[in-house]
Amino acid sequence: MILTFPGQLDLATDDRLGFGEVYRLYFGRVTGLCRHLLRDRAIAEDAASEAFLRIRDGLARYDASVPMERWVLRIAANHCIDLLRRRRLEQRWFVEEPGVEPASATATPLTLVLLKEQRELVERSLAKLDEAYRVPMVLRYYAELSYDEIAAELDLEKTQVAGRIFRAKQMLRLALKETL
């Protein structure tokens, strides 16, 4: 069986699928996640390599009931969060309440973003957010983890995750409103 779609990965039934295949399929996604979380290309590449070491070690224990991509990204996210903590950035989880920009019933600065350059602006604005807000946003909108999974990764309550994502969006709207 030739596997071309990540969701179809089934290590239990395809003995041809080796670590090389997993690496090839998910290298981009894992590196992207590390870059968004760590904000440093070199550190992110290191982190991605480390994450793949963990992935390789864990392949034998992979539970095929979980989508492979989600499993891989959770391992990578977990490693990046460990790094952030190690760098003592976790102290910055507790930050001052930011200014807010509520979503209006019509267009918001975020929904007005249409052009590629503007989307890059969103990414840059997101990168400027404090870790406390940026990390849940990346885990949600890049890694597509659920609130429960994010809460587990960050040792938070689900309500705290929701609160941070909510406030992060408000901060983004504010930042974009000033820029666009």
Partner 1 sequence: MNCIPEEIAMLYVESELAAEEIQTVEAHPAECSACTELVGTLRAENVVLTSALRESVPNRRLRTLAHLAGSIAASATIAVPAQWAASMIQEAGMWANHVASMPFELAFRAARAIAPLALLLVVTQMTALAMTRRSNQQALVIGREEVIQDSVFATGETVLVEGKIEGTLFMFGRSLEIRGEVDGDEFAGGQEIRITGKVNGNIIGGAETITVRGLVTGGVYAAGRNVHVDSGGQVQREVISGSQTVTVDGKIGRGLTSGASTAMIGGTIERGISFSGKRFSSGLLGESTEASARRSGQERLPDGPGRGAVRQAGHQDPRTSAGKRLGGDHPLGGRGPGRGILRRMVTARGVSRILWRRGAVRT
Stretch that binds partner 1, among 5-13, 43-51, 66-74, 87-95 (CB under 8 A): 43-51
Q: Which span (6-14, 65-73, 91-99, 141-149) binds partner 1, by CB under 8 A?
A: 141-149
The yes or no reply on residue 19 touching partner 1 (CB under 8 A) is yes
Minimal CA–CA distance to 26: which of 132, 62, 146?
A: 62
Among 111, 128, 157, 179, interactor with partner 1 by CB under 8 A: 111
Question: In a 10 Å sphere around its CB, with 0-12 CB exposed, 13-18 middle and 19+ buried, how is residue 166 labelled?
Answer: middle
Stretch that binds partner 1, among 60-68, 69-77, 89-97, 121-129 (CB under 8 A): 121-129
Q: Is 8 in the site for partner 1 (CB under 8 A)?
A: no
| Position 63 contacts partner 1 (CB under 8 A) | no
Nearest alpha carbon to residue 34 among 99, 87, 78? 78
32 CB neighbour count, 10 Å cutoff? 18
What are the tokens at 26? 């998910």
Helices of type H across the chain: 19-38, 41-58, 68-86, 116-128, 131-141, 147-154, 158-179
The span from the CA of 100 to the CA of 96, in Å, is: 12
> What's the token pair of residue 62?
């992979």
Task: Point out which span in 61-69, 72-80, 91-99, 159-167 binds partner 1 (CB under 8 A).
Answer: 159-167
Applying CB under 8 A, the residues found at the interface with partner 1 are 16, 18-21, 23-24, 27-28, 31-32, 35-36, 43, 45-46, 49-50, 52-53, 56-57, 102-108, 110-111, 113, 116, 119-120, 122-123, 126, 137-138, 140-142, 144, 146-147, 158, 162-163, 165-166, 169
